[in-house]
Every structure is written in C-alpha cells, then in structure tokens.
Copies of this chain bind each other. A is one copy, B any other.
C-alpha cells in the first residue's frame, strides 16, 4: 500500500517520528534489531533513502545504534541516568563507597539498579604528558610526563549478565593528578582502598575543600564515539571536574565524557544568606 498522495514535506521526519513512537511504546524493544531499511520503507509506504535518513536522525538522538553490515538496533538504555554532581561529595556517602571511589558508586549505582542494571568498571593507571588545558589547571609542565592518569571506562550491564558481558558503555572518566603528588604512592595502584582517591589525597595532606565543574556539550571525537558506540553526530557532555585544597591548589582534574542522551545532570546547593 503506497502513500504517494501527501505533498511529502519532510517525509523523513514522518518516518523518524514513526520510529520514535515504536521505540517509546515498546513495539521495538531495547536491544532489538529494527527491520531492514527496504522492509521498513515498504511497511511505512516510503523509500529506502527516507528511512535511512530517518534512522540517522533518531540514532543521533540516542534512541538507536547502527552497526554497519548488521543492522539498526534500539539502544539498550533509552531512559536517562541521573548524575548527581553535588550530592556525592558528602563525607557520609564517601565512607560507604567502594574502592573505586565516589564517582563510581553511591547514587549512580542506585540509579542503575532501578533499571535492573549493574555498573562495571575497567580502570587503568599510567603516567602521561597532560593535555594543555589540564596542565594549565593543575599548574604542571604541558610538555613533560607530569601527571598520573587514572582512566575508568564505565559500563552498565544487565543484572543477570555473565561476568564476561560488560554491557553498555556509559562513561569515560579520566583523572589527572600531578606526578609530584601521586608519583610512587598508592594513587598509582588500581585499587586505592576505602574512600578512594579523595581520602588518600586527604591523608597525604591534600584535603579537597572546593569543587568546580564545567559542562560543555559537543560532538564526540572518533575515539569517544568508538568506545561509547555513538554516531559521530551524537552529542556528549564533557564535564571538567576540578578539586582544590584550602591553599587554592588544584590537586585533581577529572574529565568525564557522557553520551548526552543517556544522562541527566543534577546539582544542588545552599544559598549564602550572610
């Protein structure tokens, strides 16, 4: 049954909306493969080009992921995960956190459990030449190996997934600490112990008293797109997180890369009335 009648203004948007609707109402379920483009074109009374373009649009919004040669799939996570920026920095919460520190746990984990998912982590540690903006914040040499880099790739896996299944990549968190602070300490170990980095830094005399976060929305780099299985025209939130000591020294910078469609960011604070 063709449908050539309407003046066809923005046919691909009509198809895109049909796809969104089917994802939202569960006709297409998370993880499921969509019908091939020609089939869907037939079904919707359209043509392959329009369907391809529609899929591109919806994929850029984060609802679909395409894999060349294989098909278009509904994203496994189609609702937002909340990242509570401020709430995580309370001592009570920090003490109950696991080895990988505050960021990986607490609210984030609870958030995922509500979706029947569990967090997985792939940490790594190395020494490196810092990116220029990070070097500037930390006040270290941008041309030398002057920072310890703690890299965490974070996933969300179905609660019943086998240990080998990492699940969906949801975040890249890269922490930079000046080499003269972290070099040769437990901060170069994968496991930093109870309370994580923040507690260790405090024990070394670098107690954090103030946090700043800057948020920028942009397209992912090819590497980010690859790891997060995003299209190049998706969007990521880049959060540059900086921790200062009472002496106003920046002791830690963490850059978080989050698929923008996957997350909701939350901050809260008291007003100074003095």
List residues of chain A with CB under 8 Å of any chain B CB: 13, 57, 60-61, 80, 82, 85-86, 89-91, 207-219, 232-233, 235, 237, 260-261, 264-274
Contact = CB atoms under 8 A, between A and B. Distances in A.
A269 B86 contact: yes
Given A233-B57, A260-B217, A267 B270 contact: no
Number of identical monomers bound together in the oligomeric complex: 2
Contact of A210 (B215, B219, B271): B271
Given A86-B267, A212-B267, A215-B215, 9 more contacts: A60-B233, A89-B272, A91-B274, A209-B271, A210-B271, A213-B266, A215-B267, A235-B260, A269-B269
Given A80-B216, A215-B264, A216-B80, A210 B269 contact: yes
A211 B264 contact: no
A269 to B, nearest CB: 5
Contact of A91 (B217, B261, B273): B273
13 contacts: A13-B232, A91-B272, A91-B274, A210-B269, A210-B271, A211-B268, A212-B267, A212-B268, A215-B215, A215-B267, A267-B267, A267-B269, A269-B269
